């Protein structure tokens, strides 16, 4: 079975992370599949809304660390970069249903979604600094904008997780429900949107985002330059090596 499942019904394309044995961590092949799914949904007039979902126990553990070590992304055609551009510029409404851990890009992708529903077990984290890295997906702009600078520092400098209720309080999620209900609520809301005139949805989303769209793209590009460089540096190599060897990283020399 594929690691990314795509299913379209009633004008709603649902994209499911389906790599449970590795906690839905995302490989380059999965980023390609995600970018392809968004491109297809964008081009298909019958698709009006996209929903991302994971499993009741895990949304995504973020980038696959082994894949990142072996094939660090480079160039603007790298699958992760294709995905980021496709998502951040996606014109139709995008929803997400998040249960369990949402790590790294598992959280930062949500800042590009229009509606987010969370299970009460959702735990959001952006531990880039702990991995010797910097934020991605425009999160160094979008996180302080949404959460305020000091809460953004807890999330991005300390890399501390925050739970569903805190995400609700800062406006990252729309509603917190039992994990068994999250995917269903996202589908219900997606179907409500799919019944509305698409042109009005697309224009309303465009107007809400047009003031910041260029800034977001510029920030994604700026972050990518730093992230690509830092991936190859000693701090990230140590963090990733430690994860693979199931030990604590030692940053005393970096």
**What residues make contact with ligand COA under the rule CB under 6 A?**
22-23, 25, 61-66, 101, 103-104, 127, 131
Cα 163 from Cα 79, distance rounded (Å):
29
Tell me the closest approach of the beta carbon of residue 235 to ligand COA, in angstroms. Answer: 13
CB of 25 to ligand COA, least distance (A): 3
Q: Which lies closer to ligand COA via its Cβ, residue 142 or residue 194?
A: 142
CA-closest candidate to residue 124, choices 158, 162, 165, 175: 162
User: Is the Cβ of residue 11 or residue 62 nearer to ligand COA in the bound state?
Assistant: 62
> Of 160 and 205, which has the nearer Cβ to ligand COA?
160
**Is the CB of 105 or the CB of 115 nearer to ligand COA?**
105
Distance CA 146, CA 209 (A): 14
| Residue where the block lists tokens 């895990």 | 58
Task: Provide, rounded to whole angstroms, the least separation between the CB of residue 248 and ligand COA.
Answer: 13
At its nearest, how many Å lie between ligand COA and the CB of residue 122? 12
Minimum CB separation of residue 242 from ligand COA in Å reads 11
- Whole-angstrom CA distances from 114 to 7, 79, 165, 193, 247 are 20, 23, 18, 11, 38
Say if residue 154 is exposed, middle or buried (CB neighbours under 10 Å; 0-12, 13-18, 19+). Answer: middle
Would you say 177 and 185 are in contact if contact means Cβ atoms under 8 Å apart?
A: yes
Give whichever of 103 and 142 is closer to ligand COA, judged by the CB atom. 103
Token pair 């799914």: residue: 37
- Position of minimal CB gap to ligand COA: 104
Percent helix, strand, coil in the chain (nearest 5)? Answer: 50, 15, 35
Q: How far is the CB of 113 from ligand COA (least distance, A)?
A: 18
Q: Which is nearer to ligand COA, 131 or 141 (CB)?
A: 131
Q: Which is nearer to ligand COA, 14 or 63 (by Cβ)?
A: 63
In the complex, the smallest distance separating the C-beta of residue 137 from ligand COA, rounded to whole angstroms, is 10
CA–CA gap between residue 17 and residue 59 (Å, rounded): 7
Q: In this structure, are residues 99 and 52 in contact, taking their beta carbons and an 8 Å threshold? A: no
């Amino acid at each position: 079975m594929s690691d990314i499942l795509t299913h379209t019904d009633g004008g709603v394309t649902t994209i499911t992370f389906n790599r449970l044995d590795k906690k839905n961590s995302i490989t380059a092949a999965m980023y390609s599949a995600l970018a392809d799914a968004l491109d297809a949904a964008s081009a298909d007039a019958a698709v009006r809304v996209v929903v991302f979902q994971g499993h009741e126990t895990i949304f995504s553990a973020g980038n696959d660390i082994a894949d990142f070590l072996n094939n660090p992304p480079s160039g603007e055609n790298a699958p992760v970069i294709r995905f980021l551009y496709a998502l951040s510029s996606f014109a139709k409404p995008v929803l997400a249903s998040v249960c369990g851990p949402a790590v790294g890009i598992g959280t930062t992708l949500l800042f590009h979604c229009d509606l987010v529903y969370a299970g009460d077990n959702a735990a959001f984290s952006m531990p880039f600094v702990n991995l010797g890295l910097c934020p991605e997906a425009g999160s160094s702009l979008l996180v302080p904008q949404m959460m305020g600078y000091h809460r953004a520092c807890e999330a991005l400098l300390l890399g501390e997780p925050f739970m569903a209720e805190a995400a609700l309080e800062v406006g990252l999620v729309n509603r917190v429900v039992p994990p068994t209900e999250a995917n269903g609520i996202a589908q219900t809301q997606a179907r409500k949107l799919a019944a509305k005139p698409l042109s009005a949805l697309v224009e309303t989303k465009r107007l809400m985002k047009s003031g910041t769209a260029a800034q977001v793209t510029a920030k994604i590009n700026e972050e990518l330059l730093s992230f690509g460089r830092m991936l190859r540096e000693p701090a990230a190599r140590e963090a990733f090596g430690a994860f693979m060897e199931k030990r604590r990283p030692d940053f005393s020399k970096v």
